[in-house]
Amino acid sequence: MKKGISLAIILLLGLASVAQQSDNSASSSAASATATQSASEREPLTSPRPKDFWDGDDPNLVNLITHPFANKKYVQRQVTPIRDRVNELEQITAENGRQIKDADTRAQQGIQAASEKTSLADQHASDAANKAQLAQTAATEASARVSSAEQMVGNLVEYKGSAQTEIRFRPGQTALSKTAKDALDEMAGPLKDQRGYIIEVRGFAPGQGQAAIRSSQKMADSVVRYLVLTHSIPVYRIYEMSMGNPATTGAGKSSSSARVEVSVLKNDQVASTKR
């Protein structure tokens, strides 16, 4: 009786061993085919099913008695595929996080650069607008001055000469002498509290070219400065001209003396009133 049982157990163990080897070879072939697939082509995890009666356990009497109760190796075999897939998902998630962070950094840099360029363009536009406004103001003022000058020129025919004074200077000097100041006082005194007049100041100087013009300019400036500061003549009533030396001879020698001619022109149509 005991021999029959032993033979049955040995026969059962032999059959189980043959079946396990066959299943193991089939499993190896399937694992090789699966390894060639990319991570993106993996199929979802499925519930593990026993491949044979022993499910990887050694075909012996102890495992025959304890099977299919769970043991440490059995649990490890069930958990390992899941743990590998979780690790893979964590790696993919970390990589996606890095890519998102890099994209966000590049986007922030692009936004900042665009903002700086926009601010710079706004500043340039503001500067251009300010310059355009200044140019417009200058053009308006110039137009007003031209209109005033044209009006004054148009009214010159109404002004007639009433007095003329000649101020002489020593060669190379531009300061007014006492005689020159007395002559200007005599001329400007009657103009107090009057309007409707203009004063023409023309400077002449010996020499040639620009040197004579600059010298005549300085002498005329001395006369204008004295009339404005001493007699409070409005500047807009004085017209100054630097004539230089219009009387230069062909040999290059000047026959003109250093002098300033001051003429008072009045408009008889304008009544004398208090300013």
The verdict on residue 246 lying in a domain is yes
Round the average pLDDT of the chain to a whole number and report it. Answer: 75
pLDDT at 253: 45
Residue 144 pLDDT level (bands cut at 50, 70, 90): confident
pLDDT at 251: 43
Mean pLDDT of 110-120: 89
Say whether pLDDT at 46 is over 70: no
| Contacts of residue 201, Cβ cutoff 8 Å, sequence gap at least 6 | 220, 223, 224, 238, 239, 240, 241, 260, 261, 262
CATH of the domain at 257: 3.30.1330.60
Mean pLDDT of 60-72: 60
pLDDT at 203: 92
- Structurally, the chain folds into a number of domains equal to 1
In terms of C-beta density within 10 A (0-12 exposed, 13-18 middle, 19 or more buried), how is residue 238 classed?
A: middle
Alpha carbon distance 191, 185 (integer Å) = 10
pTM value surpassing 0.75 = no
Instruction: Name the nearest CA neighbour of 243 among 203, 191, 193.
Output: 203
Residue 262: CB atoms within 10 Å: 23
pLDDT at 243: 87
Say whether pLDDT at 153 is over 50: yes
Structure tokens at 179: 């005689």
The verdict on residue 98 lying in a domain is no
The verdict on residue 108 lying in a domain is no
What share of the chain has pLDDT > 70, as a percent? 60
| Contacts of residue 244, Cβ cutoff 8 Å, sequence gap at least 6 | 204, 205, 207, 209, 210, 212, 213, 215, 216
The verdict on residue 115 lying in a domain is no
Contact criterion met (CB below 8 Å) for 207 and 254: yes
What DSSP character marks residue 206?
A: S
Alpha carbon distance 73, 133 (integer Å) = 89
pLDDT at 61: 65
Cα radius of gyration rounded to whole Å, the chain? 58
Say whether pLDDT at 273 is over 50: no
- Domain holding 256, by residue range, is 160-267
Tens-digit pLDDT profile for residues 158-204: 667 777 889 999 888 889 999 999 999 998 888 887 878 889 999 99
Say whether pLDDT at 92 is over 60: yes
The verdict on residue 238 lying in a domain is yes
Tens-digit pLDDT profile for residues 25-39: 545 554 444 544 444
pLDDT at 272: 45
pLDDT at 200: 92
Say whether pLDDT at 225 is over 90: yes
The verdict on residue 71 lying in a domain is no
Say whether pLDDT at 262 is over 90: yes
The verdict on residue 243 lying in a domain is yes
The verdict on residue 88 lying in a domain is no
Q: Which long-range contacts (CB under 8 A, 24 or more apart) does 216-222 make?
A: 216/242, 216/243, 216/244, 216/245, 216/258, 216/260, 217/242, 218/174, 219/167, 219/169, 219/174, 219/258, 219/259, 219/260, 220/260, 221/174, 222/174, 222/175, 222/176, 222/260
Mean pLDDT of 100-121: 89
